[in-house]
């Protein structure tokens, strides 16, 4: 009998009382906010605090949890040896009185306890704002199962012959199951449950927002390599214990989940066939049970586990190498019933004991129905991050950088993933590997084990630039209001100065910008520094941008406050002064909104200030300091032409949704649901855009420097004209209904390029790797730059490839020229392949609806305007 | 060829167009066709008839009419005939005709009209209400259909010899915002309003008739997802702007002018399926409203592509609230097995109205395989949700509106007794306008009766004044019936009826 069979058989007793006809009802929940990071050095719990706060509006304060992996022996009160080898059994006591009986039944007789403690916490939970339900007392034990107990267990359960660790872990698992059954899942009061029991890792959860755990259990300086947190959104109103909160523990891993399954019962059935019974009745619990089964029982490598969870299908499957197809086909045949169906996104923190490494994993569902952002920062210390929203990543980095200058507030790379894709598998893992000398190094790999590096830093130093002489040139550079002269100076400084000098230089520039024209020059130049790519010599781009951000904030912070007399072209408003909003007077033209302290939505949010200011007559806005505030540019109403908004930092969801005339520019990456139902106006994004970009849009001119995530321009109608320079994950322009582009309708230009850190244009392997392009579309077109003809018919469903005509080229050319102006992506470069400039028709292909008989109504009804006729008949 | 609608064109009030201001008063609105369908066919054998006038004298319904100054009779107004009743009451013209010149029989069309849910009697009684504003009397079964389940198996347990309340003192109004969230306290005068039907699925005449009737009764109608046609603007205080999954025609100004914004997540008739408007109905005018290409089939996805979870829903609600902070939010959801959780989740995400759409509804456009087969029947969903809202302690902060197969005022009252605050109707409005439930709404140019069509010629088959009056009349009759039910229970306010399941009995579960 195989090890797997033995383990499964040993669990037969656990299925007692399970009935296939009466599946337990799942605890209902929607999505949530998840965040996590892995770091080459252990860092304090306070750094999971900030990103958790940023995820507030993704939870409802009725469940929060965190996990920490890769701990520090001293703070745990044990030796390194015990920390590495023992299981950290943490029992949550919902009823503190049951401690002795639980201990007597499930701890003392089974384990050698090397250390035990009651997890310290703030004395009175009511001292912590927002904590309404007393968190459970937690008893923590460092344990190893007793030798004789283990021998007896192996004997009784038929596990003799398995490795010692295998038996040990199975013992831990079954013992926890027994405890949970008796004290949690059985009828009657819920009294206690095992919160976690892995090695060198802990899980804590409460009824409340996740960050309150840091407060309550006093984890500010409690250090770990990997942290994950979860804000839960249970739909029930009343929750009195955190049993259903995330993370859930497997053996040495903790899993948090955003989404919910359509096939909970099917997965439960699959598990039941393998003698596994869920006790907590949430999707998340069954997810970790599946993971644990594949990991510990079937001993699948991580790649296969990911394949099992997010299977590669259709065209993606066809694109895989033969040998992978064979393995994957087997995995799918065996385990498709355990593959979660519906929207989900997992973050897993794990102690990879076998490889002496700690790991953080993000796995995306195959339809990318949940938002997710990955990020990586290299340097003296390395950190990998994955979150539901980008601002949580930036909040983590800001928190870390504040404490330790080795961290930078800007990551080197941010990206999304497509679940089940042949390119990266939709999953990335950050592995913190012990180097043997007590230090750790972090690397990032995708599902297939391919490493993803933060951009390799060019060591080429630019021509040296002297700080002193550069400072002398500031005042003359500031006379060019366009900022272009100053940008040139800053750019060469970034490559030719040390980082320290560059920072000092930026500070001096900010200090020198005193008059309005100088301010304009500085703002424009700093903006170009943020938007553009250029050689930064030995300096990391993230560091340069960090310095520029800081200097820009200083310039913007230096303009007169709205509370004073109108004295400048600029006026500044922030959370403190929001009540003083007034119409622009005298010279005033530009309202600088510092969004930092505003709530992300609701009647008090910054986007409302912008909208009210617009009503009062303000037309130009510089909005900065964002940490995920939503709805910027929303609510301006129709005909908002002439209104111009420039947005900096981590802008939030729904930006520019409903835009109808105004111009919005995002200097950096943007988030989800951008420009939904947009009708007129202009949107420029100097970075990537997130999920459902321009869903249901009706028009507008839009330029995106980078990529779009899943489902861009879905259900879009009318005449949107969109240029995307990177790629899109999948479902681009599904149900596109944008007329005939050559006759006033809409289109998307997809260039399939990226900019490297020097600003050079690099062709992607394919402009579009998704399996669904222009599906079910009835109007509009996609002009895709595909000189190597990598796109195939498999990707279409109702569309057709057409050769680019001259009329097509005349249509898109002005947009590409504008694109060149905005992003420095030359049209001539786009037309160049392998060093040769070619005719546009050899470079671009047109995807448009397949020719078919035009529906009869279009022809016959063309002369009938129902609404007008009807009006006439009433008169 | 696309038509562009000038967004700045002046909006003329309807009275400029020669239309009346809709009023809450009953006026006769006879059928649009000369020979109205009824239960019976009546023959007069002219060669036998002596024109004695006995029949006209005895008929209680005015079937036999001799216009003044004429010797002969016009063709019998057979739709008014109640032959079976007359036989019993001795008012049967056939028996009383000295010449045996008259004959009646059940109209073959009557036998083929309707279906088990919407029986011929229900259709005819709805027509009666729409024509007269009064409750049907006589032999039509106007309380229940013949579906063998649902509301057809539920009856009220009226008290015997109970004290009746004075109908004049009974309130049928319900509040729509029961939260203390600073948003307007909107009250409607009847616990019923009109469901969303898009411009495209139905004609502008139908849409305007609905809106005008809603205005007269101080209730609401809903745009559906085909955009907000200009001519609705005068009625904006009684129009719900629907934000559905296709986002067709949704613009900031349409959100801003609405007092209620409805998110259509799903329809009970076709959960898991989006809306679809087949190419033939997508005329240039419809396409212009939606910004689409005329003649192409338009599909709404399922679900919202930007909403896959409860926190997405909250964000979605926040978005609409940001555009219009004064608007109430209604979340229209179908009735899956966990409908109770969905409802509570919607509430916590900020919805003022939770609108459950059960499985019986749907017109011809909903696929037969989906109708009645996927979602939970509404009479199960209502108590399930109402009970859960009570358990969660939020029952009095939510307005629970239900739809999906509400055909009659009886259904409405039963839904309220099961735990709803009010109902939304769709098909009864269509029937009032002359729908015969042929189920061909979506195909070709749409409805042969000019209700669910956008074809310019077909649209002209109906007149707005007439449509408005038919609906005003029907609602008047619905109110009469509801008041009568409340009166028999000794209640003076429809809110007292809510959740009174103890007043209901189900024929299948009665003790022998």
pLDDT in tens, A489-522: 999 999 999 999 999 999 999 999 999 999 999 9
Q: Which residue range is the domain that position A704 belongs to?
A: 687-875
Q: What is the pTM of this model?
A: 0.91
A74/A205 same-domain check:
yes
Q: What tokens appear for B119 in the block?
A: 């029986």
CB A294 within 8 A of CB A317: no
Distance from the Cα of A32 to chain B's closest Cα (Å) equals: 6
H or E element: which one contains A349?
Answer: strand A344-352
**φ, ψ of residue A300 in degrees (nearest 5):** -75, 145
- Strands in A562-693 per DSSP E: 570-573, 590-594, 620-627, 644-650, 660-667, 680-685
- Most confident residue range from A278-287, A312-321, A532-541: A312-321
- Please indicate, yes or no, if residue B134 is contained in any of the structural domains: no
CB distance B43 to B102 below 8 Å: yes
Q: Of A135-139, A836-840, B174-178, B310-314, where does mean pLDDT reach its minimum? A: B310-314
Calpha distance A654→A633 (Å, rounded):
9
Q: What is the domain-level CATH number for residue B46?
A: 3.30.70.20
As a whole number of angstroms, the distance between CA A280 and CA A249 comes to 12
> In terms of domains, do A279 and A245 share one?
yes
**How far apart (Å, rounded) are the C-alpha atoms in residues A487 and A520?**
12
Look at residue B428 and give its three-state secondary structure: helix
The verdict on residue B19 lying in a domain is no
Residue A24 inside a domain? The answer is yes
One domain for residues A486 and A518: yes
In a domain, B458, yes or no: yes
Are both B54 and B190 inside the same structural domain?
A: no
The answer to whether A690 and A416 are in contact (CB under 8 A) is yes
Verify that A350 and A495 share a domain, yes or no.
no
Gap between the Cα atoms of A549 and A543, Å rounded: 10
Out of B75, B92, B111, pick the residue that ends a domain. B111
Match 């009382």 to its residue by tokens. A17
Residue B509 covered by a domain? no
Q: Is residue A860 predicted with pLDDT exceeding 60? A: no
- How far is it, in rounded angstroms, from Cα B105 to Cα A870? 41
Q: How far is B366 from chain A (nearest CA, A)?
A: 20
The predicted structure's pLDDT at residue B65:
93
Using an 8 Å CB-CB cutoff, list chain B residues near A259: 308-309
Distance CA A416, CA A428 (A): 10
Q: What is the pLDDT at residue A861? A: 40
DSSP letter string, A164-230: HHHHHHHHHHHHHHHHHIIIIISSS---EEEEE--TTEEEEEESS-THHHHHHTT-TT-EEEEEEEE
CA distances from A125 to A46, A213, A219 (A): 18, 10, 15
Per-residue pLDDT band for B13 (boundaries 50, 70, 90) equals low
Q: Could you tell me what percent of chain A has a pLDDT over 70?
A: 95
- At residue A28 the predicted structure's pLDDT band, cuts being 50, 70 and 90, is low
* B105 and B178 inside one domain: no
Q: Which of B185-194, B345-354, B417-426 has the lowest mean pLDDT?
A: B345-354
- For residue B156, which of B420, B503, B512, B497 has the smallest C-alpha distance? B503
Query: How far is A429 from A363, CA to CA, in rounded Å?
Result: 9
Q: How far apart are CA A217 and CA A225, in angstroms?
A: 18
- Indicate the Cα dihedral angle A186, A189, A191, A197, nearest 10°: 30
Residue B336, pLDDT > 90, answer no
CA proximity to A717, closest of B453, B248, B190, B480: B248
The CATH number of residue A13's host domain is 3.60.20.10
Please report whether residue B362 resides in a domain: yes
Range of the domain at B68: 40-111
The answer to whether residue B303 sits within a structural domain is yes
Same domain, yes or no: B185 and B271: yes
| A677 within domain boundaries | no
The better pLDDT of the pair B405, A852 is held by B405
Q: Can you tell me which residue has the tokens 């009346």?
A: B20
Residue B261 lies in a domain: yes
Residue A622: inside a domain: no
Q: Are residues A386 and A512 in the same domain?
A: no
Decide: A652 and A626 in contact? Cβ < 8 Å: yes
A238 → closest Cβ in B255, B291, B392: B392
User: Higher confidence at residue A350 or residue B270?
Assistant: A350
A575 inside domain: no
Is the residue at A837 inside a domain? yes
Alpha helices per DSSP H over B77-203: 83-89, 93-96, 108-112, 120-132
pLDDT, position B443: 77
Query: What residues have CB less than 8 Å from A243, skipping those under 6 apart?
Result: A92, A94, A184, A190, A193, A280
Strand partners, A385: A37, A375
Q: Has residue B510 got a pLDDT over 90? A: no
> Are B95 and B208 part of one and the same domain?
no
Residue B487 lies in a domain: no
Say yes or no: B101 and B178 in one domain.
no
Average per-residue pLDDT for chain A: 92
Q: SS3 for B318-330, per residue? A: HHHHHHCCCCEEE
Q: Are residues B337 and B202 in the same domain?
A: yes
A236 interface with B at CB cutoff 8 Å: yes
- Residue B8 predicted with pLDDT over 60: no
Question: Quick one: B187 exposed, middle or buried, by C-beta within 10 A (0-12, 13-18, 19+)?
Answer: exposed
Residue A396 shares a structural domain with residue A247: yes
- Select from B61, B92, B111 the last residue of a domain: B111
**Both tokens of residue B199?**
């411009």
Residue B202 Cα, gap to closest chain A Cα (Å): 12
Q: Do B270 and B404 fall into the same domain? A: yes
Evaluate whether A244 touches A282 at the Cβ level (below 8 Å).
yes
Which of A25, A370, A604, A857 to mutate: most B Cβ within 10 Å?
Answer: A857
CB contact under 8 A, B17 and A874: yes
Cα–Cα dist B371/B378, whole Å:
13
**For position B359, which CATH number holds?**
3.20.20.70
Residues A213 and A352 in one domain: yes
Confidence of residue A383 (pLDDT cuts 50, 70, 90): very high
Strands (E), B265-417: 276-277, 298-299, 328-334, 353-357, 399-403
Rounded to whole angstroms, the Cα distance separating A370 from B307 reads 9
For residues B178 and B106, state if they share a domain.
Answer: no
Our count of domains for chain A comes to 3
| DSSP string for residues in B135-166 | ---TT---S--SSSSGGGGEEE-PPTTPPPPP
Residue A624 within any structural domain of the chain: no
Interchain contact A603–B (C-beta under 8 A): yes
Which two structure tokens, joined as six digits, stand for A786?
């595909």
Place of tokens 């300096």: A539
Reported as type and span, the H/E element at residue A524 is: helix A516-531
Q: Give the per-residue pLDDT at B365.
A: 66
Q: How many domains does chain B have?
A: 2
Residues A875 and A769 in one domain: yes
Cβ distance of A866 and B279 shorter than 8 Å: no
A369 touches chain B (CB under 8 A): yes
**Last residue of some domain: A394, A414, A446?**
A446
The reply to whether B423 and B278 lie within a common domain is yes
Q: Is residue A352 part of a domain?
A: yes
The confidence band for B9, taking pLDDT boundaries of 50, 70 and 90, is: low
Task: Find the CB nearest A779 among B7, B296, B305.
Answer: B296
d(Cα A666, Cα A647) in Å, to the nearest integer?
5
* Claim to verify: residue A302 and residue A400 sit in the same structural domain: yes
pLDDT tens-place string over residues A295-319: 999 999 999 999 999 999 999 999 9
- Does A316 map to a domain? yes
Name the domain boundary from A446, A481, A501. A446
Contacts of A627 (CB under 8 A, 6+ apart): A54, A391, A394, A395, A595, A596, A649, A650
- In 3D space, the residue among B365, B364, B362 whose CA is nearest the CA of residue B298 turns out to be B365
Q: Are residues B294 and B399 in the same domain?
A: yes
Region B489-495: mean pLDDT is 97
Residue B495 has pLDDT above 90, yes or no: yes
| pLDDT value for B287 | 86
Give residue B302's pLDDT band: very low, low, confident or very high (50, 70, 90).
confident
pLDDT tops 80 at residue A609: yes
Residues B95, B206, single domain; the answer is: no
pLDDT for the residue numbered A874: 33
- Count Cβ atoms within 10 A of the Cβ of residue A438 and give its class: 0-12 exposed, 13-18 middle, 19 or more buried: exposed
Looking at the fold, whether B79 and B189 belong to one and the same domain comes out as: no
Query: Which residues of chain A from 35 to 64 reach within 8 Å of chain B, CB to CB?
Result: 57-60
The pair of structure tokens assigned to A235 is 């739909």
In terms of domains, do A195 and A285 share one? yes
Last residue of a domain, one of B111, B128, B145: B111
Domain boundary, last residue among A492, A520, A555: A555
Give the model confidence (pLDDT) of B453-491 as tens digits.
Answer: 888 888 999 999 999 999 999 999 999 999 999 999 999
ipTM of the shown complex: 0.88
With a pLDDT cut of 90, the percent of chain A lying above it is 81
């Amino acid at each position: 009998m195989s090890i797997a069979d033995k383990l499964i058989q040993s669990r037969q007793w656990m299925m007692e009382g399970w009935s296939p006809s009466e599946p337990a009802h799942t605890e209902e929940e929607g999505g949530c906010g998840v965040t996590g990071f892995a770091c080459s050095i252990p860092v304090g719990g306070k750094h999971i605090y900030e990103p958790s706060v940023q995820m507030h509006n993704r939870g409802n304060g009725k469940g929060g949890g965190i996990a920490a992996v890769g701990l520090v022996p001293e703070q745990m009160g044990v030796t390194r040896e015990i920390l590495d080898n023992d299981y950290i059994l943490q029992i949550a006591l919902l009823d503190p009185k049951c401690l002795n009986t639980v201990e007597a039944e499930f701890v003392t007789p089974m384990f050698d306890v090397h250390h035990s403690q009651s997890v310290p916490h703030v004395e009175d939970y009511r001292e912590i704002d927002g904590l309404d339900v007393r968190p459970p007392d937690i008893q923590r034990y460092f344990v190893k199962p007793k030798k004789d107990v283990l021998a007896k267990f192996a004997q009784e359960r038929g596990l003799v012959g398995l490795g010692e660790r295998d038996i040990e872990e199975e013992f831990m698992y079954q013992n926890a199951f027994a405890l949970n059954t008796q004290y949690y899942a059985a009828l009657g009061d819920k009294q206690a449950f095992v919160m976690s029991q892995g090695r060198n890792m802990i899980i804590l959860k409460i009824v409340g927002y996740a960050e309150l755990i840091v407060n309550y259990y006093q984890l500010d300086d409690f250090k770990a390599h990997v942290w994950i947190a979860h804000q839960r959104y249970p739909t029930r109103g009343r929750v009195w214990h955190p049993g259903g909160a995330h993370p859930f523990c497997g053996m040495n891993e903790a899993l948090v989940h955003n989404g919910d399954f359509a096939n909970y019962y099917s997965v439960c059935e699959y598990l039941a066939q393998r003698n596994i019974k869920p006790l907590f009745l949430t999707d998340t619990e069954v997810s970790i049970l599946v993971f644990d089964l594949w990991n510990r029982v079937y001993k699948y490598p991580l790649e296969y586990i990911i394949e099992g969870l997010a299977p590669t299908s259709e065209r993606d499957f066809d694109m895989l190498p033969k040998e992978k197809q064979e393995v994957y086909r087997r995995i799918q045949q065996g385990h498709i019933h355990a593959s979660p169906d519906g929207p989900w996104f997992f973050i897993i923190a794990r102690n990879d004991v076998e490889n002496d490494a700690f790991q953080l994993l993000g796995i995306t569902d195959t339809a990318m129905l949940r938002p997710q952002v990955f990020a990586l920062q290299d340097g003296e210390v390395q950190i990998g991050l994955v979150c539901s929203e980008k601002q949580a990543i930036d909040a983590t980095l800001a928190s870390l950088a504040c404490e330790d200058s080795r961290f930078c507030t800007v990551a080197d790379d941010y990206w999304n993933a497509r679940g089940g894709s042949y390119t990266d598998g939709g999953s990335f893992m950050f592995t913190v590997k012990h180097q043997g000398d007590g230090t750790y190094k972090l690397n990032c790999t995708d599902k297939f084990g391919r490493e993803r590096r933060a951009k390799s830093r060019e060591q080429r130093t630019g021509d040296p630039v002297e700080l002193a002489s550069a400072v002398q040139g500031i005042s003359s550079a500031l006379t060019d209001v366009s900022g272009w002269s100053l940008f040139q100076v800053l750019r060469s400084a970034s490559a030719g100065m040390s980082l320290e000098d560059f920072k000092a230089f930026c500070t001096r520039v900010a200090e020198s910008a005193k008059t309005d024209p100088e301010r304009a020059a500085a703002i424009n130049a700093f903006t170009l520094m943020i938007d553009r790519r250029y050689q930064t010599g030995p300096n990391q781009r993230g560091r340069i941008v960090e310095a520029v951000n800081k200097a820009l904030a200083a310039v913007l912070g230096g303009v007169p406050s709205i509370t004073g007399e109108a004295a400048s072209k600029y006026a500044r408003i922030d959370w403190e002064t929001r009540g003083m909003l007034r119409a622009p007077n005298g010279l005033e033209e530009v309202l600088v909104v510092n969004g930092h302290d505003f709530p992300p939505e609701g009647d008090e949010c910054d986007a409302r200030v912008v909208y009210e200011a617009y009503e009062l007559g303000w037309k130009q806005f510089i909005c900065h300091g964002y940490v995920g505030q939503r709805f910027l540019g929303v609510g301006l109403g129709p005909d908002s032409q002439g209104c111009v908004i420039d947005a900096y930092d981590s802008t939030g969801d729904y930006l520019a949704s409903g835009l109808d005339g105004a111009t919005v520019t995002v200097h950096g990456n943007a988030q989800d649901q951008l420009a939904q139902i947009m009708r007129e106006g202009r949107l420029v994004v100097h970075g990537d855009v997130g999920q459902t970009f321009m869903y249901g849009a009706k028009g507008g001119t839009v330029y995106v420097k980078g990529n779009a995530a899943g489902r861009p321009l879905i259900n879009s109608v009318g005449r949107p004209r969109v240029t995307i320079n990177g790629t899109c994950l999948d479902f681009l322009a599904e149900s596109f209904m944008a007329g005939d582009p050559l006759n006033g309708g809409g289109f998307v230009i997809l260039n399939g390029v990226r900019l490297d850190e020097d600003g050079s244009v690099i062709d992607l392997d394919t402009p579009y790797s998704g399996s669904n392009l222009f599906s079910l579309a009835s109007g509009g077109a996609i002009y895709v730059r595909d000189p190597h003809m990598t796109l195939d018919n498999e990707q279409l469903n109702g569309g057709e490839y057409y050769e680019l005509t001259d009329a097509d080229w005349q249509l898109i050319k002005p947009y590409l020229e504008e694109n060149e102006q905005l992003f420095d992506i030359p049209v001539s470069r786009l037309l160049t392949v392998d060093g040769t400039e070619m005719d546009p028709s050899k470079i671009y292909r047109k995807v448009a609806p397949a020719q078919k008989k035009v529906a009869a109504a279009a022809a016959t009804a063309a002369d009938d305007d129902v609404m007008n006729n009807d009006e006439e008949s009433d008169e | 060829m696309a038509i562009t609608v000038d967004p700045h064109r002046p909006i003329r009030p309807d009275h400029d167009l020669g239309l009346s201001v809709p009023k809450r008063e009953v006026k006769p609105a006879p059928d649009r066709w000369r020979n109205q369908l009824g239960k019976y066919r009546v023959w007069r054998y002219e060669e036998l008839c002596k024109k004695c006038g006995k029949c006209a004298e005895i008929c209680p319904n005015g079937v036999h009419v001799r216009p003044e100054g004429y010797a002969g009779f016009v063709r019998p107004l057979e739709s008014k005939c109640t032959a079976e009743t007359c036989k019993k009451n001795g008012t049967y013209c056939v028996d009383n005709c000295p010449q045996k010149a008259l004959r009646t029989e059940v109209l073959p069309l009557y036998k083929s009209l309707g279906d088990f849910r919407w029986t011929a009697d229900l259709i005819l009684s709805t027509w009666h209400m729409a024509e007269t504003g009064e409750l049907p009397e006589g032999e039509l079964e106007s309380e229940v259909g013949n579906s063998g389940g649902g509301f057809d198996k539920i009856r009220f347990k009226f008290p015997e010899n109970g004290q009746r309340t004075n109908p004049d003192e009974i309130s049928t109004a319900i509040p729509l915002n029961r939260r203390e969230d600073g948003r307007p306290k909107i009250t409607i005068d009847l616990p019923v309003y009109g469901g969303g039907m898009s411009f495209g699925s139905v004609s502008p005449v139908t849409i305007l008739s609905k809106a005008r009737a809603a205005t007269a009764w101080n209730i609401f109608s809903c745009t559906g997802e085909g955009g907000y046609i200009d001519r609705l603007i005068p009625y904006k205080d009684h129009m719900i702007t629907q934000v559905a999954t296709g986002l067709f025609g949704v613009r900031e100004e349409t959100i801003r002018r609405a007092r209620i914004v409805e998110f259509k997540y799903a329809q009970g008739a076709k959960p898991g399926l989006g809306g679809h408007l087949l190419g033939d109905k997508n005329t240039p005018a419809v396409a212009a409203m939606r910004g689409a290409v005329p003649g192409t089939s338009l599909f709404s996805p399922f679900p919202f592509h930007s909403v896959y979870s409860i926190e997405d829903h909250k964000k979605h609600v926040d978005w609409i609230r940001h555009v219009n902070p004064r608007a109430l939010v209604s979340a229209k959801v179908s009735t899956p097995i966990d409908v109770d959780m969905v409802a509570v989740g919607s509430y916590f995400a900020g919805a003022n109205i939770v609108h459950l759409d059960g499985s019986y509804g749907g017109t011809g456009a909903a696929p037969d395989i989906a109708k009645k087969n996927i979602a939970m029947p509404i009479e199960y969903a209502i108590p399930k949700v109402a009970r859960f809202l009570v358990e969660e302690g939020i029952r009095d902060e939510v307005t629970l509106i239900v739809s999906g197969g509400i055909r009659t005022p009886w259904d409405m009252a039963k839904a309220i007794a099961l735990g709803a605050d009010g109902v939304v109707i769709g098909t009864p409005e269509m029937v009032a306008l002359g729908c015969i439930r042929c189920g061909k709404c979506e195909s070709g140019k749409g409805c042969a009766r000019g209700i669910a069509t956008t074809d310019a010629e077909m649209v002209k088959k109906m007149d707005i004044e007439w449509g408005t009056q038919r609906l005003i009349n029907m609602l008047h009759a619905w109110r009469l019936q509801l008041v009568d039910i409340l009166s028999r229970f000794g209640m003076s306010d429809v809110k007292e009826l809510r959740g009174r399941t103890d007043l209901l009995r189900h024929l299948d579960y009665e003790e022998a």
